[in-house]
Protein backbone atom coordinates (compact mmCIF):
# COMPACT_ATOMS: atom_id res chain seq x y z
CA UNK A 1 0.00 0.00 0.00
CA UNK A 2 2.59 2.60 -0.96
CA UNK A 3 0.60 4.02 -3.87
CA UNK A 4 -1.88 5.91 -1.70
CA UNK A 5 0.63 7.74 0.54
CA UNK A 6 2.75 8.74 -2.47
CA UNK A 7 -0.34 10.02 -4.31
CA UNK A 8 -1.40 12.01 -1.25
CA UNK A 9 2.11 13.40 -0.93
CA UNK A 10 2.23 14.49 -4.57
CA UNK A 11 -1.22 16.08 -4.36
CA UNK A 12 -0.40 17.99 -1.19
CA UNK A 13 3.00 19.11 -2.48
CA UNK A 14 1.45 20.35 -5.73
CA UNK A 15 -1.35 22.03 -3.81
CA UNK A 16 1.03 23.85 -1.48
CA UNK A 17 3.19 24.95 -4.44
CA UNK A 18 0.18 26.41 -6.23
CA UNK A 19 -1.07 28.08 -3.03
CA UNK A 20 2.20 30.01 -2.86
CA UNK A 21 1.68 31.44 -6.38
CA UNK A 22 0.20 34.87 -6.99
CA UNK A 23 -3.20 35.00 -8.60
CA UNK A 24 -6.41 33.58 -7.26
CA UNK A 25 -7.02 31.10 -10.08
CA UNK A 26 -3.79 29.26 -9.32
CA UNK A 27 -4.66 29.30 -5.62
CA UNK A 28 -8.03 27.77 -6.45
CA UNK A 29 -6.30 24.97 -8.35
CA UNK A 30 -3.96 24.53 -5.39
CA UNK A 31 -6.86 24.20 -2.99
CA UNK A 32 -8.50 21.68 -5.31
CA UNK A 33 -5.38 19.52 -5.26
CA UNK A 34 -5.05 19.89 -1.50
CA UNK A 35 -8.65 18.85 -0.90
CA UNK A 36 -8.18 15.83 -3.16
CA UNK A 37 -5.24 14.90 -0.94
CA UNK A 38 -7.45 15.30 2.14
CA UNK A 39 -10.15 13.13 0.57
CA UNK A 40 -7.63 10.38 -0.07
CA UNK A 41 -6.48 10.59 3.56
CA UNK A 42 -10.08 10.06 4.61
CA UNK A 43 -10.49 7.12 2.23
CA UNK A 44 -7.23 5.59 3.42
CA UNK A 45 -8.39 5.74 7.03
CA UNK A 46 -11.43 3.62 6.23
CA UNK A 47 -10.28 1.23 3.56
CA UNK A 48 -6.66 0.33 3.67
CA UNK A 49 -5.82 1.05 7.28
CA UNK A 50 -7.52 -2.00 8.69
CA UNK A 51 -10.25 -3.27 6.35
CA UNK A 52 -10.43 -5.50 3.30
CA UNK A 53 -11.70 -4.59 -0.14
CA UNK A 54 -15.44 -3.91 -0.22
CA UNK A 55 -15.99 -6.43 -3.04
CA UNK A 56 -18.35 -9.38 -3.05
CA UNK A 57 -16.56 -12.69 -2.73
CA UNK A 58 -13.31 -11.14 -1.49
CA UNK A 59 -12.79 -11.68 2.21
CA UNK A 60 -15.28 -11.65 5.04
CA UNK A 61 -18.16 -9.10 4.78
CA UNK A 62 -17.54 -8.16 8.41
CA UNK A 63 -14.03 -7.10 7.39
CA UNK A 64 -15.11 -5.23 4.25
CA UNK A 65 -14.44 -1.56 3.60
CA UNK A 66 -16.02 1.03 5.83
CA UNK A 67 -18.80 3.17 4.27
CA UNK A 68 -18.42 6.00 6.79
CA UNK A 69 -15.22 7.60 5.34
CA UNK A 70 -16.84 7.44 1.91
CA UNK A 71 -19.73 9.47 3.30
CA UNK A 72 -17.18 11.88 4.79
CA UNK A 73 -15.50 12.26 1.41
CA UNK A 74 -18.83 12.88 -0.31
CA UNK A 75 -19.64 15.66 2.15
CA UNK A 76 -16.17 17.16 1.80
CA UNK A 77 -16.36 17.13 -2.02
CA UNK A 78 -19.67 19.00 -2.00
CA UNK A 79 -18.33 21.66 0.36
CA UNK A 80 -15.12 22.13 -1.63
CA UNK A 81 -17.05 22.38 -4.89
CA UNK A 82 -19.28 25.13 -3.50
CA UNK A 83 -16.34 27.15 -2.20
CA UNK A 84 -14.38 26.64 -5.44
CA UNK A 85 -17.24 28.12 -7.44
CA UNK A 86 -17.40 31.08 -5.04
CA UNK A 87 -13.65 31.67 -5.28
CA UNK A 88 -13.69 31.53 -9.08
CA UNK A 89 -16.42 34.19 -8.94
CA UNK A 90 -14.19 36.28 -6.65
CA UNK A 91 -11.30 35.81 -9.10
CA UNK A 92 -13.48 37.15 -11.90
CA UNK A 93 -15.09 40.19 -10.25
CA UNK A 94 -13.95 42.96 -8.00
CA UNK A 95 -10.83 45.00 -7.84
CA UNK A 96 -7.53 44.23 -9.50
CA UNK A 97 -5.89 40.94 -8.93
CA UNK A 98 -2.29 41.44 -7.99
CA UNK A 99 -1.20 39.72 -11.20
CA UNK A 100 -3.19 41.93 -13.53
CA UNK A 101 -0.73 44.80 -13.48
CA UNK A 102 3.00 44.51 -13.09
CA UNK A 103 3.81 46.49 -9.95
CA UNK A 104 5.82 49.63 -10.63
CA UNK A 105 9.19 48.88 -9.09
CA UNK A 106 11.17 51.27 -11.25
CA UNK A 107 12.72 48.38 -13.19
CA UNK A 108 12.35 47.88 -16.90
CA UNK A 109 10.58 44.55 -17.43
CA UNK A 110 11.06 44.60 -21.20
CA UNK A 111 14.81 44.95 -21.19
Partner 1 sequence: MTGSLLPLLVVVPLLGAALGALVPGAVARALLVLAPVVTTAGGAALLVEHAQTPVLAHNVGGFVPGIAIPLVSDTFTAVMITVTGFTTTACIGFALVTGEARLRFFPTLVMMLSAGVNGALLTGDVFNLFVFIEVMLLPSYALIAMTGTWRRLGIGRLFVVVNLVTSTILLIGVGLVYGVAGSVNMAVLSGVDADDPRFQLAVGVVLLALAVKAGVVPLHGWLPRAYPATSATVMALFSALHTKVAIYAIFRIHQTVLDGATSWMVPLLVVFGVTMLVGAYGSLGERMVRRSLAWQMIAGVGYILIGLGVGTQLGLAAGLFYMVHHILVMGSLLLSSGAIERAYLTHQFLGLSGLMRREPLLAVVVALAMMSLVGFPPSSGFFGKVGIARAAADLEGAWIWLVLGVLVVASIGTLLSMTKLWGDVFWGPPLEESPSRGKGHTDLPPVDAETRMQKRSLAPAGALLLVSLAIFVVPGPLWELCLQAAEGLLDVTAYVEAVTAP
Which residues bind to partner 1, rule: CB under 8 A? 19, 24, 27, 31, 34-35, 37-38, 41-42, 44-46, 49-50, 68-69, 72, 75-76, 79-80, 82-83, 86-87, 90-91, 93-95
Nearer to partner 1, 13 or 83 (CB): 83
Nearest 5°: phi and psi at 26? -65, -40
- CB of 111 vs partner 1, minimal distance in Å: 30
Nearer to partner 1, 94 or 106 (CB): 94
Nearest 5 degrees, angle CA 32-CA 1-CA 62? 100
Nearer to partner 1, 44 or 64 (CB): 44
- CB of 106 vs partner 1, minimal distance in Å: 24
SS3 95: coil
List of residues 6+ apart from 18 with CB closer than 8 A: 26, 27, 29, 30, 33
CA separation for the pair 41, 27 (Å, rounded): 21
Among 97, 48, 94, 92, CA closest to 70: 48
- CB of 74 vs partner 1, minimal distance in Å: 11
- CB of 61 vs partner 1, minimal distance in Å: 17
Amino acid sequence: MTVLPITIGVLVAGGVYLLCQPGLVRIVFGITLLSHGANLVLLASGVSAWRGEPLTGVGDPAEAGDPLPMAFVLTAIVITLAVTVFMLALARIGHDDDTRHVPDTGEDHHA
